[in-house]
Amino acid sequence: MNWSWDVIIDYFPRLLDGVWVTLELVFLSGLFGLLLAVPLALMRASPNRWLRILPFGYIFFFRGTPLLVQIFLIYYGSSQFDAVRESALWPILKEPYWCAIIAFTLNTAAYSAELIRGAIQAIPKGELEAADAFGMSKALKIRRIVLPRAFGIVLPAYGNELILMLKSSSLASTITLLDITGAARTIIARTYTPLEIFFAAGMLYLVISAIMIGGFRLLERRLNRHQHYRGPDEVAKVDPRLAE
């Protein structure tokens, strides 16, 4: 066995093309997933019992089955029904790219909804009562108090979920998408150097997740800056000018 760096260097641009596809998949499905997860989480945390039960089946299914099955169900499964094939949705559902995004979105929304529900329930009761005391309407309370607070609380956990999503996005390669893993597989089919190329692909994933972890840490510091606040005495110890 001889390790060849040349093959990594030669095909690195192709892998970088894959990085864009991976980032697109993670970003788009993360965004859509969050948009779907917030109402689901509000329903799950609602005092109304029927509203609470409604998203349960959806969340249960998507958290209890493998993502690969979900992708195949949407990509291959949708073609079974003539009604789907003749519908206006077909141009979207026949594209592996959009099927991957739909599957990832539904999957991450189920996980994120539970995370956000936990965060909503972790908001100190006094803050909600204070909002009521100010005479805020339900909608205003959710917009001004519940969601911003829940967002700060959920951030570290959501960061983890996004890293898991990044890793899951490699499954898109099973439905012919050329993300990092998909690009690596096509390169290997030509060069037969699995160790070198998979190593390079793995390093790319590591770098992306390291950047994401760093980014989330910064965002958390900013959003939860009240928790990092230090009194003037302590600040003065760091730099006397700051306490003035």
Q: Site residues (CB under 8 A) for another protein?
A: 1, 60-61, 64-70, 72-73, 76-81, 166-171, 173-174, 181, 184-185, 188, 194-195, 198-199, 201-202, 205-206, 209-210
User: For another protein, which is the closer residue by CB, 78 or 105?
Assistant: 78
Tokens of 55: 């998203």
Neighbours of 62 (CB within 10 A): 18
Please, what is the minimum distance in Å from the beta carbon of residue 207 to another protein?
A: 9
Q: How are the residues of the chain apportioned to helix, strand and coil, as percentages rounded to the nearest 5?
A: 85, 0, 15
User: Quick check: 176 and 182 in contact, CB under 8 A?
Assistant: yes
Please, what is the minimum distance in Å from the beta carbon of residue 87 to another protein?
A: 15
User: For another protein, which is the closer residue by CB, 35 or 206?
Assistant: 206
Please, what is the minimum distance in Å from the beta carbon of residue 136 to another protein?
A: 37
Please, what is the minimum distance in Å from the beta carbon of residue 198 to another protein?
A: 4
User: For another protein, which is the closer residue by CB, 43 or 180?
Assistant: 180
User: Quick check: 150 and 116 in contact, CB under 8 A?
Assistant: yes
If you write DSSP's letter for every residue of 81-120 in order, what string do you get? -HHHHTSTTHHHHT-HHHHHHHHHHHHHHHHHHHHHHHHH
Tell which residue, 43, 41, 60, 61, has the closest CA to residue 52.
Answer: 43
User: For another protein, which is the closer residue by CB, 202 or 215?
Assistant: 202
